[in-house]
Amino acid sequence: MSDSELRPQHYLYRDRHTDEDYARLAAQFGASYMSSAKWFKVLTAIAQSRLHLQRATWKFIDSDRLFPWPPPGAHELELTHLADCGSFPPIEYKWIEWISFPRTWSELPDPKRPQQTVSGAQDIDALARLLDATAQTQYIIDDDGLTLFAYRH
């Protein structure tokens, strides 16, 4: 998948969505749990932790598409949005519906080195403790991992 396919296009072209679009999309949810300030605080805490989280799946309120992006580093965070520094497009936090952190992950091997599957584990219980110590957040933990919600129906 190319870099452009992994980037939600409307975030690169800020004129695609208006404040009215955001209000309409956000209104379809029964609850909203995260402000930009809370996202910044939580993502900064994750980035500065020693959890070394490497994998996450991101979901945005305007699309059913899922984005396999890592958690951002501290240098990739601005007060209201992800920084446009190469790893992420400049996405305002208000568009994030949820971020899911898997307990374990694996990637398909490189066709040139099929014997070298890349896999890992993430300490989801430690992530939950970090979230609890950082801010009042809404998340669920299950066998697959932890999902941090900004919006829920």
95 vs 60: CA distance, rounded Å: 5
In the prediction, which pLDDT does 15 show?
47
| Number of domains, the chain | 1
Residue 136 in domain: yes
Domain with 62 in it: 32-152
Residue 113 in domain: yes
Residue 114 in domain: yes
Q: What percent of the chain has pLDDT over 70?
A: 88
Instruction: Quote the mean pLDDT of the chain.
Output: 88
Residue 131 in domain: yes
**Could you tell me the CA-to-CA distances from 122 to 52, 74, 104, 119 in Å, in that order?**
8, 19, 6, 10
Tens digit of each residue's pLDDT (9 = 90 or more) over 125-134: 999 999 999 9
Residue 10 in domain: no
Residue 8 in domain: no
Q: What percent of the chain has pLDDT over 90?
A: 70
Residue 6 in domain: no
Tens digit of each residue's pLDDT (9 = 90 or more) over 55-79: 999 999 999 999 999 999 999 999 9
Residue 22 in domain: no
